[in-house]
Amino acid sequence: MHKPLHKTARIIRSKNAGPFAITFDVFFNDIYCFNEAKRSEALTREAICQLYAVALDDLTQYVWVEAALGFKFTFRRHWPQGSVNERDTFGAQQHSRLYEVNI
């Protein structure tokens, strides 16, 4: 049975990782949710890149940390932080696409 990520994770957030990168953190409710998400095809490197319309080469970090029941990925920004027409200088609004990803 598939569930949206926000039903299995206690924290889903994005944030600035310097002027040229945004990082995402997901912390799961328990080990069962962590393992289900890790096995899911919805959170592979390729799926993340497709969701955010970034090239696989732009995904600079992708790591699962069982001790923290967490998952982290970082990608290069499509635009430099603080540039003209910047939409989210702190990168704090980018995580919302993850909420409804079914795992």
pLDDT in tens, 41-76: 999 999 999 999 999 999 999 999 999 999 999 999
pLDDT for 25: 98
pLDDT for 1: 60
Provide the β-strand partners of residue 64: 71
pLDDT for 89: 82
Q: What burial class does residue 15 get, using C-beta atoms within 10 Å of its C-beta: 0-12 exposed, 13-18 middle, 19+ buried?
A: middle
Quick: pLDDT tens for 73-100. 999 988 888 888 777 888 899 999 999 9
Question: Domain extents for the chain?
Answer: 5-98
3-to-8, 55, 82, 98 alpha-carbon distances in Å:
7, 27, 36, 12
pLDDT band at 40 (very low <50, low <70, confident <90, very high): very high
